Structure 1
Amino acid sequence: MTLPTRSYAAFLFDMDGTILTSIASAERTWTKWAIAHGLDAATFVPTIHGVQSVETVRRLNLPGVDPVAEAAAITAAEMLDVGDIEPIAGAAAFLASLPPERWTIVTSAPRALAEVRLEAAGLPIPATMIAADDIPNGKPAPDCFLVAAERLGVSASDCLVFEDAPAGITAGEAAGADVLVITATHGTSHRLDTRHPRIDDYLHVTTTITSDGRLAVTSR
């Protein structure tokens, strides 16, 4: 475990793989879709994480396939498959310890899917949440984190981004934020080399509010 050494005005959390785990649900849905479209699911499915579904479909450039329609169908299927979604260990308590106006969620999932998954995991839905519907240019573009910081009334460069996927890490970097990588869902198939501080989950960290009202991540 390594932690950032400075304090921040606000925290920005990715959702999937960062505060909850929906990998099994997502990979079941995308595996069925990949097989139906003649793709090698074992090679393709690991590429879906951290980016908007429509962009995942679009970059395949499959003949006769409408990325918007396909992404909508995939989202609908994912919304029906939430039985084994659960929070990353310690995430609920960590989020509950934060002042509500000082954090939000920034996800590549459509808002409807994000709300279903957060509810399934028993996690709060902040009013300031940024979802795929809100941002034309998804991760790895920095737009989502820039808008999230603006909604909280702070600079992105004064935020700590909590992320688990390369696209989100790149987006956080491009926004000028610091990044803390959550490795709980990486395992052997999603292993990630990164120069950023990292924690496995939230069980051994807490939030400290400094004397000047800023947020810091500290070990328990």
Structure 2
Amino acid sequence: MDGTLVNSDAAVERSWRVWADEHGFTMDDVMKVSHGRQAHATMAVLLPDRPVEQNLADNRAMLAREIADTEGVVPVPGAPDFMAAVADLPHALVTSADVALADARMRAADLRMPKIRVTAEDVGASKPDPEGFLLGAATLGVDPRDCVVFEDSEAGILAGRAAGMRVVGVGARAAAMSPDVHVPDLTHLRVEALPTGEMVLRVPA
């Protein structure tokens, strides 16, 4: 969701800045590892000896701030047309956000929420673990090898690969991870629905 369908970078950075200042980290320290992960998983990377309970408590506080702060949250270019193009195709939203945050950001960006979604409440492990993507495929009833993941972050791309799925990288962060296909944003994709219910992706030259 974040970075792939929704540009929430400003809101994310505002929220993390509070935590970083409290714990003596720079924003560069945080941003290097935070994209695509649940907040408590990022905290565990930055403070490996810290009790899990403290990370989970900070995670809850951060989610509350992020849910309340949707200023500047907008769709990634091309996201509305992309969501319309896949509306009748099997698809799921797999996000590290919880239900409330996913709802808030999709609503702020005026994007349709897919009927099938996998959020933080549904998994025991954050990306780069593939659990979320595998659960999404299972819920759709689709073999993971027949799935395509759209991701912007290192953690998300690693999770998609670990799930055995092909990966379309979206945006500048994704380019460094050498995904199967890279596009600057979703305006660079065309989606074609086949009578079989399958999807053809075209990347215009």
Aligned partners of 2:190, 2:202: CA distance in 1, in Å? 5
Runs of 4+ in 1 over 3 A off after TM superposition: 61-65
Correspondence for 1:3: none
Larger helix percent: 2
Pairing 1:119–2:103 present:
no
CA distance in 2, matches of 1:195, 1:98: 21
Query: Is 1:36 paired with 2:22?
Result: yes
Aligned length: 202
Q: Name 1:17's counterpart in structure 2.
A: 3
Unpaired segments of 5 or more residues in structure 1?
A: 1-14
2:201 aligned with 1:201, yes or no? no
Is 1:70–2:58 an aligned residue pair?
Answer: yes
Q: Could you say if the C-alpha distance between residues 61 and 143 of structure 1 is closer, same or farther in structure 2, counting changes exceeding 3 Å?
A: same
| Counterpart pick for 1:162 among 140, 147, 150 | 150
**SS of equivalent to 2:186:** coil
The amino acid across from 1:196 in the alignment is D
Contact 1:31/1:45 (CA < 8 Å) preserved in 2?
no
AA at the equivalent of 1:192: A
Partner Cα distance (2:115, 2:175) in 1: 32
Match of 2:44 among 58, 61, 65: 58
Distance in 1, matches of 2:71 and 2:168, equals 28
Share of identical aligned residues, percent?
Answer: 34
C-alpha distance in 1 between matches for 2:148 and 2:179: 15
Higher relative contact order by CA 8 Å / sep ≥ 6: 1 or 2?
Answer: 1
Whether the 8 Å CA contact 1:101–1:152 is kept in 2: the answer is no
Pairwise CA RMSD: 1.9
Please state if 1:176 is matched with 2:164: yes
Distance 1:47 1:123, change over 3 A: same
Q: Distance in 1 between matches of 2:179 and 2:101?
A: 31
Q: What TM-score comes out, normalization by structure 1 length?
A: 0.85
What does the per-residue CA deviation read over 1:155-204, in whole Å, with 9 as the maximum and x for residues that have no partner?
A: 11100000011111111011110000001x54xxx862414211111223
CA positional deviation for 1:209: 1.6
CA contact (8 A) 2:149 2:168 kept: yes
Q: Tell me the amino acid that sits aligned with residue 137 of structure 1.
A: A
Alpha-carbon separation, structure 2, partners of 1:136 and 1:122:
29
